Structures are given as structure tokens and as C-alpha cells.
Amino acid sequence: MIIYLFDTDFVIDLLGSRPHAVELFNSLGRSVYALSVVTVGEIVHGIERSYDSARARELFEAFLVKARVFNFDIEAANLFGQIRARLQANGTTIGDLDVMIAATAIRHNLTLVTRNRRHFDRVEGLSLLIPSTTPES
């Protein structure tokens, strides 16, 4: 069974009922979805800054109940250091939180679902699923 690790941007789109995210989520069928603890932190940060934080928290908590959450462990930390060093050597750095999410995906052999191709395409060995987006009216 494939486990998909949802990036922060995809979770935001899904919870916001964006058609491309809902369609992809529904197409995954019986697959397991997961989040990195880093993504959880990013989402909670956004919730705390939102206009209707109580509603946003309720929505996220209902989503989170069915998700598997992966911690950032020592193996992921080692991968983080290797990935970050390689990106720096290539002059193609990305944000540390994105590197942590990528390291978590690689560590657990997960496919990362994200719209952020520009950053994550730079990470060698990372399996990606990029949802197709269309302009919304």
C-alpha cells in the first residue's frame, strides 16, 4: 500500500476544498495519507494567525484524526544534513522546513504530494506527486 505524505500547501488546498486537491485526494482511494510533524506545525501556525481560528482548528483536527503523523527522527535528521549540504553545494538551497519534510518522506519511503515542484524537484531521491491545478474562477 502506498503512503502519501501531504505537504503543507496540499493540506491547505484540501481543507479549503480546492477542486484539484479534493479530486486528487478522492482518487487516492484506499491509500493511507500522512503528515510530517513539520507540516502539522506549519498548519497550526496558520490556524493561530487565521481570522476564524476555532473553525480552522476544528477542521484540521478532524482531518488529522485519520492521518498518520511521522516524527522527525535521527535518521531523518541525518538525511536533512546530507540533503541540505548537497543543495548548498549545488547553489540550489530551499527552506529548512521543506528539507525536513523531504527528509521525512525519503526516510520512510513515502511519496510527497505537493504543488511546490520548484523546491522539491531539487531533492534527489524524493518521490513526488504533483496535483494538476487549473485556474479557479
* Separation of alpha carbons 56 and 46, rounded Å: 9
**Mean pLDDT of the region 113-135:** 88
Percentage of the chain beyond pLDDT 90 is 88
- The answer to whether residue 37 is domain-embedded is yes
pLDDT of residue 132: 80
Q: Which residues fall within 8 angstroms of residue 125, CB to CB, at 6 or more apart?
A: 106
pLDDT of residue 133: 66
At 35, which helix (H) or strand (E)? Answer: strand 32-36
- The answer to whether residue 115 is domain-embedded is yes
Q: What is the pLDDT of residues 49-73, one digit of tens each?
A: 999 999 999 999 999 999 999 999 9
Q: What is the pLDDT of residues 71-107, one digit of tens each?
A: 999 999 999 999 999 999 999 999 999 999 999 999 9
- The answer to whether residue 136 is domain-embedded is no
For residue 137, name the pLDDT band (cuts at 50, 70, 90): very low
- CA-based nearest residue to 126, from 136, 135, 134, 94: 94
What is the domain-level CATH number for residue 60? Answer: 3.40.50.1010
What percentage of the chain's residues is helix, strand, coil (to nearest 5)?
A: 55, 15, 30
CB neighbourhood size of 71 (10 A): 9
For residue 32, name the pLDDT band (cuts at 50, 70, 90): confident
**Mean pLDDT of the region 109-127:** 95
Q: What are phi and psi of 116, to 5 degrees?
A: -85, 60
**Mean pLDDT of the region 24-49:** 93
Which one-letter amino acid corresponds to residue 92? T
Domain, as residue range, for 59: 3-129
- The answer to whether residue 102 is domain-embedded is yes
**Mean pLDDT of the region 103-125:** 95
- The answer to whether residue 11 is domain-embedded is yes
Count the domains in the chain.
1
- The answer to whether residue 103 is domain-embedded is yes
At 112, which helix (H) or strand (E)? Answer: strand 111-113
